[in-house]
Structure 1
Amino acid sequence: MPRPLLRSAALVAATLTTAGALAACGSGDDGSAADAPSSSTGGGSGAFPVTVSTAFGDVEVPEEPQRVVALGWSDAETALALGVQPVGASDWLAFGGEGVGPWAEGRYDEAPEIVETLEPSLEAVAALEPDLILDTRSPATEERYEALSAIAPTIGQPEGVDAYLTTWQQQLDLVGQALGRTEEAEQLRSDLEQRIADAAAANPGFDGTEVAVGAYSSEGFGAYVRGDTRVDFMESLGFTNKQAVQDLATESFFVPVSDEQVALLDAPLTVVFPIFVEPSQITGNPLWQTLGSVQQGNAVLLDETLANAFSSGSVLGTGYALDNAVPLFAEALQG
């Protein structure tokens, strides 16, 4: 999971409940526009100017972007999926290097400048001379949006969507519009949705099966509710989020689970994501061992890479999770 220097940002975004300061997180050297790579923009299918509707109003992108800075969670992966290489990007999950997961590796000709996450340096962003800023899944404050918009046209989350809750479909649509690649975005969306439908059809036992989707960190256990990419993914496969967990939902997509409430994670299928902890800290936890789903072999503890694929919430990461997690779920249900 994320390295210590970036843990506070990723944990806030991953849970929105963890106590801790919303401090600015590590970034690479600011760099200069002259030293930064140019975005790859060949093959765009849209005519410019284009207007993109967001929670902060309509945003006009006057011409095909040549220098894209991707600041929102998985915005860089989404741009890469559409064939555009950002010159700057935030590394929310602290992958290091190019700032993307293994499902998106090899898509850069030259690594982008890495920019802070929760509080990106405006000077660093401006130095990259962007003509488009992507910020579709982020803290989503008016102040952040206005500051970034003063540098370049900025694409925030869709109207009616709270911080960090932009779905991979919405993100793909927004980024596709802004880059003039709506046809490519529609094709990627259609392809992945078909793959998900095929996986659900191939596993009829998923349909209607209750699932508890949890996490474990140094703060203890917690559970996700609808609106989180992890739960939404599970329900797209036919699962139903455990009602007792869903009943605890607030404005956050994450529910703390006290030691006395750990039984909330017991379900016909339990899926748990480690956050900044080794899997052994979960499997060796006496509370984990009390769950009926664990005792019966119906619990799945994801490894770091697969947990990050789910957490990325991008079209590429979701595809990776689909290929690698569905067999684990099917095996657990047979156990």
Structure 2
Amino acid sequence: MAPAPLRAPRPLFPLPSAAPRPGSRRRAAAPAAVLAVGALLLTGCSTGASGGEAAGADAAEGATGEFPRTVQHVYGETTIEDAPERVATVSWVNHDVATALGVVPVGVPTTDFGANENGSTDWFDAALEESGASAPQTYSETDGIDYEAIAALEPDVILGAYSGLTQEEYDKLSEIAPVVAYPEDGVAYGTSWQDSTELIGQALGREEKAQEVVADVEQQIEETAAQHPELEGTSFVSGTIDPAAADQIYAYTDVDNRPKFLSALGMVQSEAVTKAAEGKEDQFAITWSPEKADELTSDVFVSWAADEGVREDIEKDPLLSRIPAVENGALVLQTDAQEVLSVSAASPLSIPWALENVVPDIAEAAKTASGE
């Protein structure tokens, strides 16, 4: 499979091999387009604890900015006449951000990868419970945007600050309601969680709340980094290793949220990846030849796979086992899809969860790399 194009259908590309391994229990099947986990649909009808128009009014009352207001994004400008009462989202991240800002959307895409047993995520469920709001209605995006489902919700605004919306999709959604696409100077699916929060804060008239949320999460990142001094200056590759895949090695570039997350903790992107990614500023990942595996130097390699059996396959492979971090026992192989999602589709709700559930394994690998 080729690296993720600029218009990737989902931000988790490239995917590990889809072929099941004998005797393994996979958390998710991996078709060529999307990893689906048989997500259960959340039920509910509207923003707010009591649902309906009253709940939407509560959301609007929380806005501190003046309306009408104009928000700039990759496809120009969107004018929002009044504080939104009914919010719909596309892609990932956007519903997390809106909820973090105090506005639970009336409609969100199903969690097709990384879902918990509720068909949602632990961090969104916790925020939803704390808000006392009704759960949003959901619609699938596995075959593209469900315009009819979104239109039926009669949203006041559609959020896609983190997305890969095309001009055609943007135009069709704009026939339903004002749309906020990803930043004008950004890359599809490359919006950082900070920028997503800022942009959505503008759209909802909650800039002050957005600043507070960003500052709080960044403080949590700093505190976690301080608790793990072994991460400071540790070099990393974030990507995928899989002997069964057509392209056995991928490395995510600085465009992707995973390297951004590790860098925020004080770690340093592998110089080998940095050099190989030069001139490829619109690509999430680069392929790496297995024949040059020993040149993919880093202290730690953070990869993900469907099951732990992939680790044994990597260690047995005559070429992949020569990746320095693999040789030194500093391979972090994530097999929990929710852990993968929490960092790849990073949001102000998922990052605190990742600090608690993802960072410890990476910190342990950093210790191993340093000989501790």
Q: So what's the TM-score if we normalise by structure 2?
A: 0.76
**How far does the alpha carbon of each residue in 1:242-266 deviate from its partner, in whole angstroms, 9 at most, with x for none?**
1111222223111123432433554
Structure 1 residue matching 2:240: 3-state secondary structure: strand
- Structure 2 gaps of 5+ residues are 1-6, 18-30, 49-58
Q: Does 1:297 align with 2:346?
A: no
- Higher RCO (C-alpha 8 Å, min separation 6): 2
Q: Summarize the alignment of residues 150-161 of structure 1 with structure 2, pairs less than 5 Å apart.
A: 150-161=175-186
Q: Which segment is superposed worse, 166-175 or 283-292? A: 283-292
2:259 to 231, 244, 247: 231
Q: Which segment is superposed worse, 311-320 or 323-332? A: 323-332
**How far does the alpha carbon of each residue in 1:254-302 deviate from its partner, in whole angstroms, 9 at most, with x for none?**
112343243355421111122xx22212333323544342343322122
**Whole-Å separation in 1 of the counterparts to 2:271 and 2:253:** 9
When residues 301 and 120 of structure 1 are mapped into structure 2, their CA distance, relative to the original with a 3 A threshold, is same
The answer on whether the counterparts of 1:245 and 1:264 sit within 8 Å (CA) in structure 2 is: no
The answer on whether the counterparts of 2:88 and 2:107 sit within 8 Å (CA) in structure 1 is: yes
**Deviation at 1:118?**
6.3
Q: Does 1:79 align with 2:98?
A: yes
The equivalent residue for 2:340 is 307
The equivalent residue for 2:53 is none
Percent identity over the alignment is 32
Q: Does 1:316 align with 2:363?
A: no
2:164 to 139, 143, 153: 139
When residues 198 and 27 of structure 1 are mapped into structure 2, their CA distance, relative to the original with a 3 A threshold, is closer
Structure 1 residue matching 2:286: 3-state secondary structure: strand
2:299 to 256, 268, 276: 268
Structure 2 residue matching 1:116: 3-state secondary structure: coil
Structure 2 residue matching 1:190: 3-state secondary structure: helix
2:66 to 44, 47, 58: 47
The answer on whether the counterparts of 1:248 and 1:255 sit within 8 Å (CA) in structure 2 is: yes
Q: Does 1:205 align with 2:205?
A: no
**Whole-Å separation in 2 of the counterparts to 1:153 and 1:26:** 31
**Whole-Å separation in 1 of the counterparts to 2:40 and 2:331:** 42
The answer on whether the counterparts of 2:40 and 2:118 sit within 8 Å (CA) in structure 1 is: no
**Deviation at 1:190?**
0.2
**Deviation at 1:175?**
1.2
The equivalent residue for 1:90 is 109
Q: Give the aligned length.
A: 320
The answer on whether the counterparts of 2:298 and 2:325 sit within 8 Å (CA) in structure 1 is: yes
The answer on whether the counterparts of 2:232 and 2:265 sit within 8 Å (CA) in structure 1 is: yes
The equivalent residue for 2:12 is 14
**How far does the alpha carbon of each residue in 1:20-67 deviate from its partner, in whole angstroms, 9 at most, with x for none?**
8769x999999xxxx961223153333322221211122111112122
Q: Summarize the alignment of residues 97-112 of structure 1 with structure 2, pairs less than 5 Å apart.
A: 100-106=120-126, 107=128, 108-112=133-137
The answer on whether the counterparts of 2:250 and 2:287 sit within 8 Å (CA) in structure 1 is: yes
**Whole-Å separation in 2 of the counterparts to 1:291 and 1:163:** 30
**Whole-Å separation in 2 of the counterparts to 1:98 and 1:332:** 31
The equivalent residue for 1:4 is none
Q: Which segment is superposed worse, 131-140 or 251-260? A: 251-260
The answer on whether the counterparts of 2:158 and 2:179 sit within 8 Å (CA) in structure 1 is: yes
**Whole-Å separation in 2 of the counterparts to 1:137 and 1:127:** 23
**Whole-Å separation in 1 of the counterparts to 2:362 and 2:33:** 35
**Whole-Å separation in 2 of the counterparts to 1:36 and 1:109:** 5
The equivalent residue for 2:20 is none
Equivalent AA in structure 2 for residue 280 of structure 1: G
Structure 1 residue matching 2:11: 3-state secondary structure: helix
When residues 272 and 264 of structure 1 are mapped into structure 2, their CA distance, relative to the original with a 3 A threshold, is farther
1:214 to 239, 244, 249: 239
